[in-house]
Amino acid sequence: MRRAILAVFLTLTVIASPIAGTASAAPGLNFSSEKTPNPTFVEDELTIVTHDRGEMDDPLEYYNDSGEITRLPATVNQSQDTPVGVRFDKIDADRYTLFPRVDGEVENSATWTAAADWTTSSGASSSMSVTDADADGVQKLQFDATVASTETATATLANNVSITSDPNKRILTTVLNVETLSGTGEIRAVDGDGDYRYAELNASRAASNDTVVANATGNGIVFQERLSNLPLAGSGDGSFDSIQKVEIVGVDNDVTVTVAGLDLGTKSTDTLGEIQRDTDGDGELETTSATDYYEGGVANLTGLDTMGSAFDDAVITDLKVYNVQYQFADLTDSAEYSTEFSSADDYNYPQKLELYADMEVPSAIDLSHGDISLEFEQGLVESRYAVAEVATGADTSEAFGNLTDDGSYTSVTDTLGSQGSTATFISSASADTNHRIHLVVLLQDEEATTLQNTGMMGGPTDSGSGGFFSTLWGQITGLVAALAGAVGLSRLMGGGS
């Protein structure tokens, strides 16, 4: 008999052991059920000041105040089409500063970002200035043209610029901000005898036109176009046969641009990422892999992983992450929560779940928070929530339940509505502030069984979650004890005959 009981115990242990690895979120509840309470902070727009794609894989990663890479205890709402946003003039990418390439080298000390390498010229009543305008961790130059009627103002880069092979196949690439556009500007690729291909900054042209860089002021504009597709002008022989210099020209009135990226050396465009735009004019947004961004401003992407290889190691300043959710289900420290199932005879219900949670949205120097609200997806009818209250700024050193007497809690039951609705417990919450949430939820027996997360097979769950004998390990122990009692404990242990 002893061997038989031992065999039963070992068999049940083998059955239980593989399942132990299926334990779900730390609070030990079944969050796959819509009835499981899951209070959640919802943030409309989180800004991560520095996101290094060479070091970070997740948009919720950031540098904490000790300089270590940390991930927020949160999730991003996956139902949205474009959960992240970038401004391309705020991206430090090597790709932006490789031009001009010296002897074909992609890394060199000669780069267009040196203001001293640009020369300026203008009509007698006009002017052009080129000044350093580094910002957002990105090397930038500002070109400021003040242009009188019938005159022009020009900034020219000629040092180390000499492309004699396939000039018409090269891509004019620029990333810029348009600060002033009261006239017309041009970016020109100029050959040795005065012919040039050009793209326009022109308020009277459509921004989506393939030859137009921008038609209005704006930030983070990206233009990429093959030179053969751009108009040809100039005073040479009418044939564009090399690239010997680059010019940024104010053609009439005032034009000011701040350039973050410039290149004319490659034959292929870079993929910026997947964005949504009305590509066919029917009023419907389509997802497209963009190589230009004439809209300017923050470009909302379907994911950072849709950005091209040029941005693999880029550092993004002010990465936007939308609809970030800090859920009760995300808590991992057992000191931050308590879940207890018990009889609810005093409420004329079979069982109740009493839940406490200390929740807060983390703050750090590298995090800039948007609007935050504390929301609750109501999985049951209003009358099932016997208690719903929140204590803002609660002291986490105080034991759960000790705050009621001093009146720190504020009831939020009046925010509840119909089953399936979303209640807003706090409409404007602050980061780095603890919010202690207290719920008492009335349950039928089968609901309590569902909420207790029967997948938790690794041992006892949280305090009061039905007790040790409600878990599979407790049931195994009980079964073995019952078998032992049936044959006599002394015989089981080898005593007697």
Domain segments of the chain: what residues?
A: 1-23+469-497, 24-42+326-468, 94-263
Instruction: Work out the pLDDT band at 47, boundaries 50, 70, 90.
Output: very high
What local confidence, expressed as pLDDT, does residue 71 receive? 97
Under 8 Å between Cβ of 308 and 271:
yes
Q: Name the more confident of 409 and 246.
A: 246
Residue 1 banded pLDDT, cuts 50, 70, 90: very low
Lowest mean pLDDT among 68-72, 208-212, 243-247, 476-480: 476-480
**How is residue 481 annotated by DSSP?**
H
- Provide, for the chain, the percentages of residues in helix, strand and coil under a 3-state DSSP scheme, each rounded to the nearest 5: 20, 40, 45
The C-alpha atoms of residue 261 and residue 113 are separated, in whole angstroms, by: 9
- Under 8 Å between Cβ of 28 and 34: no
List, for residues 278-325, the tens digit of each pLDDT value: 888 888 999 999 999 999 999 999 999 999 999 999 999 999 999 999
Note the pTM of the prediction, 2 decimals.
0.84
**Token duo for residue 235:** 């005073």
pLDDT at 4 over 60: no
pLDDT range class, residue 26, cuts 50, 70, 90: confident
**22 or 81: which carries more pLDDT confidence?**
81
* pLDDT-based confidence at residue 462 (cuts at 50, 70, 90): very low
When pLDDT is averaged across residues 233-251 and rounded to a whole number, the result is: 96
* The pLDDT of residue 103: 66
Q: Would you put residue 414 in left (φ > 0), alpha (ψ -120 to 50) or beta?
A: alpha
* Range in 132-136, 220-224, 358-362, 459-463 the model is least confident about: 459-463
Which region among 1-15, 99-113, 370-384, 422-436 has the lowest average model confidence (pLDDT)? 1-15
Read off the pLDDT of each residue in 422-443 and give the average, rounded to a whole number. Answer: 97
Average pLDDT, the chain: 87
- Residue 74: which pLDDT band, with cuts at 50, 70 and 90? very high
**Which spans in 366-497 are helix H?**
445-451, 472-487, 489-492
Q: Mean pLDDT lowest for which of 335-349, 439-453, 479-493?
A: 479-493
* 122: pLDDT strictly greater than 50: yes
Pick the CATH number of 94-263 from 2.60.120.430, 3.40.50.10890, 3.30.70.890, 3.40.50.300: 2.60.120.430
- Answer whether residue 472 shows pLDDT above 60: no
β-bridge pairing 195-202 and 212-214: parallel
How confident is the model at residue 408, as a pLDDT?
A: 84
Give yes or no for a contact between 243 and 264, defined as CB atoms under 8 angstroms apart: yes
What is the average per-residue pLDDT within 57-81?
96
Q: Output the pLDDT for position 212.
A: 98
Give the whole-number percent of the chain exceeding pLDDT 70: 84
pLDDT at 280: 83
Mean pLDDT along residues 432-459: 83
Q: What is the reported pLDDT for 485? A: 42
> Burial, 299: exposed, middle or buried (Cβ in 10 Å; 0-12, 13-18, 19+)?
buried
**For helices 2-20 and 472-487, what crossing angle results, to 10°?**
180
Q: How confident is the model at residue 404 (pLDDT cuts 50, 70, 90)?
A: low
Of 46, 43, 56, nearest in space to 316 by CA? 56
Tell me the per-residue pLDDT of 190-230, one tens digit each, with 9 for 90 and over: 999 999 999 999 999 999 999 999 999 999 999 999 999 99
Q: In what helix (H) or strand (E) does residue 320 lie, and over which residues does it extend?
A: strand 315-327
102 vs 391, residue with greater confidence: 391
pLDDT band at 123 (very low <50, low <70, confident <90, very high): very high
Q: Which pLDDT does position 104 carry in this prediction?
A: 59
In percent, the amount of the chain with pLDDT more than 90 equals: 79
Q: What's the pLDDT band for 13 if we cut at 50, 70, 90? A: very low
- Check whether 467 has a pLDDT greater than 70: no
The pLDDT of residue 474 is above 90:
no
Helix and strand numbers (H, E) in the chain are 4, 30
